[in-house]
Amino acid sequence: MPANSDLHRRYLARLDEQENELDIIRAATQAERGRIDAAAKALRDYVVGAG
């Protein structure tokens, strides 16, 4: 496929969109992982304190 073809440009544009979507998903996943870790720590602290 020629590097300057319409199809090539469309593929590159779509790849760029997908990479951006993955960056957003990665950031959201990290944020949620932090929330899960904080909740787990709070639960552990509560259980230890109740014992």
State pLDDT tens for residues 4-51. Answer: 999 999 999 999 999 999 999 999 999 999 999 999 999 999 999 987
pLDDT at 2: 85
How many C-beta atoms lie closer than 10 Å to residue 23's C-beta? 10
Query: Which of 41, 38, 2 has its CA nearest to residue 10?
Result: 2
Q: Which residues contact 4 (CB under 8 A, 6 or more apart)?
A: none
Question: How much is the pTM?
Answer: 0.71
Query: How many whole angstroms separate alpha carbon 34 and alpha carbon 15?
Result: 29
pLDDT at 3: 85
pLDDT at 26: 98
**Type of residue at 20:** N
pLDDT at 41: 97
The residues spanned by each domain of the chain are: 25-51
pLDDT at 48: 94
